[in-house]
């Protein structure tokens, strides 16, 4: 059963699915995350795929692993993992529509590994203790109201020696100036159904307190900047039309907020009030 306080997140993804489809991914690469650009990837779809490769390397994914894709979205990372490794991936997400879409996609794909998809909250899953080798969370933990709840559940689910990897947004400090807090939370995060994001120190303290070891938090601004800018430019170009559609109630408040949030995210990034991290650790 999904709690009522998660309904805002479900509504956000249900109502913005069309936006992501038009602006971001194709049927071969259903990624809802940003792309990592470097010498190996200099195009949008290559960068989206490269994000998975980098995270897999960080998590030391290997054949035979059982992986929980926590906040799997439309299954982009789950399918990438099962395509490149002989692994068993379980993807979980709050929106029932996303899970149904993942199952439909999986039925038509030929993969090296296996996939399964379950509607569940990554802070309170139905899975047995010590049942996964890897916990994977690509730009999803931001939605947890209390990030420590995610880390506690992840630790429970991991086998001894298991690995966790996240791609996550981090605020530079708490608190920011009043103006910057408005830009970060009201204009960006809240429009993406995110209550708040934590600092690097807060993430480290959560993980350390729970018992994770070898915690590594790396700044990936240089690799993700192009992807962030691309989203900002796409939204900026479409904003005049979007405003008219919102005026005539063709676009909903949630859909309009998604566009505003997408532009505000890059504005906040340029101001240096948040940064993009890749976090890895072991149990």
Q: What are the tens digits of pLDDT across the range 92-124?
A: 999 999 999 999 999 999 899 999 999 999 999
SS3 139: coil
CA distance 38 to 20: 23
Query: Quick one: residue 60, left, alpha or beta (phi over 0 = left, psi -120 to 50 = alpha)?
Result: left
CA distance 88 to 112: 9
Q: How confident is the model at residue 1 (pLDDT cuts 50, 70, 90)?
A: very low
Let me know: does 61 contact 141? Beta carbons within 8 Å.
Answer: no
pLDDT (mean) for 174-192: 98
In the prediction, which pLDDT does 176 show? 98
Q: What percent of the chain has pLDDT over 70?
A: 98
**What are the structural domains, with CATH classification, of the chain?**
4-282 (3.40.50.150)
In the prediction, which pLDDT does 278 show? 98
Among the residue ranges 18-22, 146-150, 233-237, 269-273, the one predicted with the least confidence is: 18-22
Torsion of CA 70, 74, 80, 83, to 10 degrees: 110
**Helix-helix angle 7-23:253-271, to 10 degrees:** 80
The chain-wide mean pLDDT, for the chain, equals 95
- Write b or e for each residue in 229-246: b if 16 or more Cβ atoms lie within 10 A of its Cβ, otherwise e: ebbbebbeebbeebeeeb
H or E segment to which residue 202 belongs: helix 200-210
Higher pLDDT, 248 or 178: 178
pLDDT (mean) for 44-64: 96
Let me know: does 133 contact 154? Beta carbons within 8 Å.
Answer: no
> In this structure, what are the phi and psi dihedrals at residue 32, rounded to the nearest 5 degrees?
-100, 5
In the prediction, which pLDDT does 256 show? 95
Of 36, 6, 31, the residue nearest 20 (C-alpha): 31
CA distance 37 to 48: 9
pLDDT (mean) for 3-17: 87
pLDDT greater than 60 at residue 2: no
Let me know: does 232 contact 266? Beta carbons within 8 Å.
Answer: yes
Q: How confident is the model at residue 18 (pLDDT cuts 50, 70, 90)?
A: confident
Over residues 120-174, the pLDDT tens digits come to 999 999 999 999 999 999 999 999 999 999 999 999 999 999 999 999 999 999 9
CA distance 148 to 166: 14
- Write b or e for each residue in 89-115: b if 16 or more Cβ atoms lie within 10 A of its Cβ, otherwise e: bbbbbbbeebbebbeebbeeeebebeb
pLDDT (mean) for 68-90: 97
pLDDT (mean) for 186-192: 98
Length of the chain in terms of residues written: 283
β-pair partners for 216: 280
In the prediction, which pLDDT does 218 show? 98
In the prediction, which pLDDT does 245 show? 85
SS3 106: helix
Q: How confident is the model at residue 3 (pLDDT cuts 50, 70, 90)?
A: low
């Amino acid at each position: 059963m999904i709690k009522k306080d998660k309904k805002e997140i479900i509504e956000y993804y249900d109502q913005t699915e069309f936006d992501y489809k038009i602006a971001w991914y194709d049927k071969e690469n259903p990624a809802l995350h940003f792309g990592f650009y470097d010498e190996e990837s200099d195009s949008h779809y290559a960068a989206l795929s490269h994000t998975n490769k980098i995270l897999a390397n960080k998590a030391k994914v290997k054949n035979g692993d059982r992986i929980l894709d926590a906040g799997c979205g439309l299954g982009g990372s789950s399918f990438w993992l099962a395509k490149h490794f002989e692994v068993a991936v379980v993807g979980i997400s709050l929106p029932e529509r996303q899970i149904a879409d993942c199952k439909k996609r999986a039925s038509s794909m030929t993969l090296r590994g296996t996939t399964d998809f379950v509607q569940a909250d990554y802070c309170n899953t139905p899975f047995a203790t010590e049942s996964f080798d890897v916990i994977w969370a690509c730009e999803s933990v931001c939605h947890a109201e209390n990030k420590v709840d995610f880390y506690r559940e992840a630790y429970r689910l991991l086998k001894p020696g298991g690995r966790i990897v996240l791609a996550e947004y981090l605020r530079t400090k708490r608190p920011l100036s009043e103006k910057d807090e408005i830009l970060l939370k009201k204009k960006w995060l809240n429009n993406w159904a995110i209550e708040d994001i934590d600092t690097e120190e807060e993430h480290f303290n959560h993980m350390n307190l729970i018992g994770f070891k070898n915690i590594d938090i790396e700044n990936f601004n240089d690799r993700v900047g192009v992807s962030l800018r691309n989203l900002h430019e796409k939204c900026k170009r479409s904003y005049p039309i979007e405003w008219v559609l919102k005026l005539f109630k063709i676009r909903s408040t949630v859909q309009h907020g998604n566009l505003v949030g997408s532009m505000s995210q890059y504005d906040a990034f340029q101001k240096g009030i948040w940064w993009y991290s890749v976090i890895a650790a072991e149990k």
